[in-house]
Amino acid sequence: MSKLSVTGLVESPFGSKINSGDIKDTLCFFDDWEDRYRYIIDLGKELPPVPASCRTDENLIIGCQSQVWLICEYDEINNLLLIAVDSEAQIVKGLAAIVLSAFNKKSPQEVTAFNIEAFFTDIDLFSHLSSMRGNGLRAMVKKILHLAKHYS
């Protein structure tokens, strides 16, 4: 995989300053899905940009409706997965931010132990996504879980 420096991936607020519990609480605060979609899009705007040099076929997620690039680096010293995701579609960047809130800056063991499907159910995500977006989101999660198993 193309890699960024560990410090390049550390700058993301997802997984540390913004975690899955924060996102769940905020999404549950909104009464309708129009407001939730706006929040998800705003989350995507907080993702640090991925350099064009990392937008390679090797980092492309297969199965996503939009182009999505995922870069993962393993910090052996701290036993953490450092993940960056980028897409040209704002809603997809927001969905990626939700995934990163659960997986980024976590140990491979924490990533594989986290019940991401239950999290998605708790925030009622898949009932409000097209099947193509849902498949793409699952493809992103599958790749991260595969990498976590590789590093554990």
Cα 37 from Cα 108, distance rounded (Å): 29
37: number of Cβ within 10 Å: 15
Catalytic positions are: 64
CATH topology for 6-151? Sufe protein. Chain: A (3.90.1010)
For 54-115, give the DSSP string.
G--GGGBPTT-SS-EEEEEEEETTTTEEEEEEEESSHHHHHHHHHHHHHHTTB-HHHHHHS-
Res. 135: pLDDT tops 60: yes
Give the model's pLDDT for residue 11.
79
Give the model's pLDDT for residue 10.
57
Res. 2: pLDDT tops 50: no
Two structure tokens written together for 19: 């975690």
Residue with tokens 């991260």: 144
From first CA to last CA, the distance across the chain in angstroms is 17
- What pTM, to 2 d.p., does this model score? 0.91
Average pLDDT of the chain? Answer: 91
Separate counts of helices (H) and strands (E) for the chain = 7, 2
pLDDT single digits (tens) 21-72: 999 999 999 989 999 999 999 999 999 988 888 999 999 998 877 899 999 9
Q: Where are the domains of the chain?
A: 6-151
Two structure tokens written together for 25: 């609480």
pLDDT single digits (tens) 59-93: 999 887 789 999 999 999 999 999 999 999 999 99
Determine the residue type at 100: L
Res. 4: pLDDT tops 70: no
Give the model's pLDDT for residue 9.
61
Average pLDDT, integer, range 97-113: 97
